[in-house]
Amino acid sequence: MAQVFVASLVLMTMFGLIGAGAKLSNNLVAQKIASAYTVIFRGTPEILVILLLYFGSAIALTSLAQLFDPEVKFVDVPPFWAGTIAISLVVGSYATETFRGAFLGVSPGSIEAARALGMSPLQTFVYIRIPEMWRIALPAFGNHMLSLVKDTALISVIGLNETLFVAKQAIATTNQPFTMYIFVGLIYLAFSSVITLSVMGLERYGKRTTETAR
C-alpha cells in the first residue's frame, strides 16, 4: 500500500503539473488535450480506469509481442503499475485544476513587484511564484493525497497483493470477514490520519510568516 501510494503520488503530481502547464500554455492543441484529459478522467469511475488499463495494456502488449515472436501467448503489465498509473491519472486530473488554480491565484502585484526589482522570469518563478503557489495548492493537494490512499484499495480488484487483497486471503483461512475488514479499515484510517496531520503541520509552517504580523 505504501509503495503504491508513493509511486502514485509522484506520478499524480507529474500528471497534474503537465496538465496544468498545458492548460495554461498558449498552445491551443495542448489546451484541448488537457481539457479532454480532465473531462474524461473526472467523469469515469476509478475502477473502470483500472480495469481498462490492466486488461487493455495486456492485450496491446500481447499483440505487440506476437509481432516479434508468434509463440508468445500472453503478456501482461504488472498489476502494480497498471493500478498505480490508473489511480494517478484519475487523481492527476483533479490535481490539474488545483495546480492551475494555484498558478492563477498568485497575486499579480507580487509578480509586478518582482519585475520592478529586476528579477528575471526564472527568478520570479522560483522565488515568488512557487512559494506562493504551494501554499494555495496545499489544502486541496492534501485532499488529493487522501483520495490516492483510499484508491489504492481498488487495486486489489486486479489482484495486486496489497492490504485488502491480503485481508481476503486471511478471511479464506480464518473465516472472520468482519474482524479482518475492520482491521483493514483501521490501517487506512491510521494512514490517512498521518497525511492529514502532516498537511496541517505544513499549512502551519506555510503561514508562519504571514499570520504573526497581526
Partner 1 sequence: MSFDVGLIIESLPMMLSGIGITLKLLVVSAVLGLLLAIVLLLMRISGKWYLNWPAQAYIYVFRGTPILVQIFIVYYGFPQFEFIRDSILWPILREPTGCAIVALSLNTGAYVSEILRGGVKGVSKGLLEAGSALGMSARQKFIYITTPIAVRLALPAYSNDVVSLLKSTALASTITIADMTGIARTIVAETYAPYEIFISMAMIYIAFTWVLQRTFGVIERYLGRYTKREA
Residues that bind partner 1 (CB under 8 A): 39-40, 42-49, 51-52, 55-56, 58-60, 63, 146, 149-154, 156-157, 164, 171, 176-182, 184-185, 188-189, 192-193, 196
Cell numbers describing residue 207: 503561514
Q: Which lies closer to partner 1 via its Cβ, residue 17 or residue 51? A: 51
Nearest approach, Cβ of residue 129 and partner 1 (Å): 28
Q: Which lies closer to partner 1 via its Cβ, residue 132 or residue 191? A: 191
Q: Please state, in angstroms and rounded to a whole number, the distance separating the CA atoms of residues 171 and 183.
A: 12
Coil/strand/helix, residue 194: helix
Nearest to 148 by CA among 57, 104, 77, 83: 83
Nearest approach, Cβ of residue 138 and partner 1 (Å): 18
Q: Which lies closer to partner 1 via its Cβ, residue 24 or residue 51? A: 51
Nearest approach, Cβ of residue 8 and partner 1 (Å): 14
Q: Residue 59 — φ and ψ, nearest 5°?
A: -65, -45
Nearest approach, Cβ of residue 121 and partner 1 (Å): 35
Q: Please state, in angstroms and rounded to a whole number, the distance separating the CA atoms of residues 56 and 47.
A: 13
User: DSSP code of 106?
Assistant: S
Q: Which lies closer to partner 1 via its Cβ, residue 47 or residue 111? A: 47
Q: Please state, in angstroms and rounded to a whole number, the distance separating the CA atoms of residues 91 and 95.
A: 6
Q: Which lies closer to partner 1 via its Cβ, residue 47 or residue 72? A: 47
Q: Are 158 and 50 in contact (CB under 8 A)?
A: yes
Nearest approach, Cβ of residue 55 and partner 1 (Å): 4
